[in-house]
Structure 1
């Protein structure tokens, strides 16, 4: 099978870890861009990347590039391509666009022009034409225009890869699965200690943490990928790739726990963890973090997504102070990481973060912060005191 170029889209701040994931999977010629990483691989690798990558949102397969300065040259460039390679008149398609251009600034107009060019090509050839389907298209086409360069790609994934397939129930503003996985990887989580999410909501961070710990492919529970509707779909190859990934799963010898003070969240989290077939690894209880104490011996890895002012009506100053107090008093020998878009509230934690990483949660600029809680006081670690 021949290699071809692909592009994986991701969130700002995840480019390096996505490149590392690709390298470990066996991708070739990896190049890092902004919110994208390009690489080379064959059809089997395309299947593998969609199944296994934790921090990719979409995997696109570029098929053609040309220059366009106006709607006429865009239409002609699309129409010159041989669309019968990818589509027939009985099938459906959908066009998505990303624009960074002075010549084109209306994405729906670009999508419409692309659709017209494809439909006209078929109609002129045999009098029949494929139609648009916004929900379940047979082919998803992605048009990226950067200044005057048009890149036409096929979307290999379909729905964004954060739709893992295990989350049926969510709370208010649940964290995106790709964002959760990226935070865990940035935090250094590899499954080599006990894990706690003390504000677990609908359980996304817990599920992603268990899949990382056991090296379970991120999209094992997903119902379908766009490439399954392609003319060259190879079900046997896909099954072989999946089988080879599942052989690389590993045992996990620690605990993964989640707390939430809302009983409804605990119920939803348990449902989602069960859907992901991860309930043997994860325990979820109805508990208020601020009343809790560290339960395990040895180091503890903590990652969580506390509520921001955008989501819940709470006293931010008091809430963040309680996070700091609880960590300080009740969680020795713990690496605690959390994400917040309330940068002002971080001042009230009362602890100095040892790491701060800029990320985006949706459109909100956020920080992923790390607090290192030592056994006893930090001072006591280095010197004898008379206490």
Structure 2
């Protein structure tokens, strides 16, 4: 394995950058720099493998292969052509090129994306007489370009499918959280494995599953494949050592103080299917129940939940009726608990009529949200 320091960038859900930087530090990353929507870092390829395997909050790990200034599409093409792409992967690997841009003066990003693809194919044709095929659905190699107003940076994706796809969940609800956002919510709540965790509106169980993975010290990437396996520098022996060590560090699947409830039986069935497929069905305690009626499962602990919305509860009038009752339930049933409630509606949580001690901005995809913190004590102060 090449020990030379490489540059990487790990995107993540917006709002989790600081937590991801802490996680990367713990994994041994160097030169860490948090940015908008992700964290840049440096290290060798063993680190790249480790981050893909262990990161709970990164969306993917991008390997920076180079970049430079540009003025027009031809500059971008020539810059991409200057790399010896056959050094990175073989011609029989299918490719796709994706692009994001901030303040780029170029008129057509789609055309510029095609020019980068042309440069990669021309590089292969000059070196081998052949060119790789393009596969926009399931490519072997993903090439990412990021344009600013005057620079183009090129990356190779070492992850393949997004890292929030743990290879575990079989069923999803109508609007599931991504796993890395759920993990970030758990981190922000301060919940520690071994203490009670309760999701009273658990849906298909994403928050519960992430908590179970943490409680059993299961590396989130231990059951899936990665994009780096398709690259020419893939060191299978180094990867197998890392994965085997992660598997050996897992705890046995034993019941944990992790509790899920949901009003809807179909959602609860989805959660059960997901937990069973992941080998976690005995770890989490699931029951059907109405959040407004169920008792807290322990004297104290942490509630982390993403309340249902839309067709699952109804329109605004029904939501406006639900949230005050949710606040009543917290006050009556959950004294001694800290509650963390995600909402994309900045007004509805006001109807809980409890003073939020913290509001953390988070993004669920493009949807701006807040994670509201409520510390519930007997006789909690009403707004």
TM-score over 0.5 for the alignment? yes
- Pairing of 1:131-146 with structure 2 (within 5 A): 131-146=133-148
Q: Which residue of 1 aligns with 2:123?
A: 121
Q: Which residue of 2 aligns with 1:9?
A: 11
Distance in 2 separating the partners of 1:310 and 1:143:
38
Q: Which residue of 2 aligns with 1:382?
A: none
Map Cα deviations across residues 206-261 of structure 1 (whole Å, 9 max, x no partner).
Answer: 00011122322122232x11011111222221111112233444578841110011
Q: Which residue of 2 aligns with 1:42?
A: 44
Query: Is residue 152 of structure 1 aligned with residue 158 of structure 2?
Result: no
Displacement of 1:320: 0.6
Deviates more, 1:301-310 or 1:271-280: 301-310
Q: Which residue of 1 aligns with 2:208?
A: 206
Map Cα deviations across residues 119-166 of structure 1 (whole Å, 9 max, x no partner).
Answer: 123334443211111223222111111111111111000111111111
Q: Which residue of 2 aligns with 1:348?
A: 351
Query: Is residue 361 of structure 1 aligned with residue 364 of structure 2?
Result: yes
RMSD over aligned Cα, in angstroms?
Answer: 1.8
TM-score (norm 2): 0.93
SS in 1 for 2:292: helix
Distance in 2 separating the partners of 1:282 and 1:369:
24
Distance in 2 separating the partners of 1:317 and 1:105:
45
Q: Which residue of 2 aligns with 1:232?
A: 233
Distance in 2 separating the partners of 1:28 and 1:124:
37
Distance in 1 separating the partners of 2:115 and 2:312:
39
Query: Is residue 305 of structure 1 aligned with residue 296 of structure 2?
Result: no
Contact 1:304 1:337 in 2 (8 A): yes
Distance in 2 separating the partners of 1:193 and 1:105:
54
Displacement of 1:310: 7.9
- Pairing of 1:209-358 with structure 2 (within 5 A): 209-222=211-224, 224-249=225-250, 254-297=256-299, 299-309=300-310, 312-314=313-315, 315-358=318-361
Q: For the structure 1 residues 355 and 217, does the alpha-carbon distance in structure 2 shift closer, same or farther, using more than 3 Å as the test?
A: same
Q: For the structure 1 residues 116 and 232, does the alpha-carbon distance in structure 2 shift closer, same or farther, using more than 3 Å as the test?
A: same
The number of residue pairs the alignment matches comes to 376
Unpaired runs of at least 5, structure 2:
none
Map Cα deviations across residues 157-187 of structure 1 (whole Å, 9 max, x no partner).
Answer: 0111111111111111111111111111011
Q: For the structure 1 residues 343 and 92, does the alpha-carbon distance in structure 2 shift closer, same or farther, using more than 3 Å as the test?
A: same
Displacement of 1:284: 1.0
SS in 1 for 2:61: strand
Distance in 2 separating the partners of 1:197 and 1:266:
12
Q: Which residue of 1 aligns with 2:61?
A: 59
Map Cα deviations across residues 319-371 of structure 1 (whole Å, 9 max, x no partner).
Answer: 11111011111112111111001111111101111111111122221110111
Deviates more, 1:107-116 or 1:335-344: 107-116
Q: Which residue of 1 aligns with 2:73?
A: 71
Q: Which residue of 1 aligns with 2:26?
A: 24
Deviates more, 1:282-291 or 1:301-310: 301-310
Distance in 2 separating the partners of 1:41 and 1:121:
27
TM-score (norm 1): 0.92
Q: For the structure 1 residues 267 and 105, does the alpha-carbon distance in structure 2 shift closer, same or farther, using more than 3 Å as the test?
A: farther
Contact 2:259 2:297 in 1 (8 A): no
Q: For the structure 1 residues 44 and 102, does the alpha-carbon distance in structure 2 shift closer, same or farther, using more than 3 Å as the test?
A: closer
Distance in 2 separating the partners of 1:304 and 1:353:
15
Unpaired runs of at least 5, structure 1:
380-387
SS in 2 for 1:370: strand
SS in 2 for 1:365: strand
Distance in 2 separating the partners of 1:105 and 1:141:
21
Map Cα deviations across residues 67-123 of structure 1 (whole Å, 9 max, x no partner).
Answer: 111011111111121111013333321111111133225332222010111212333
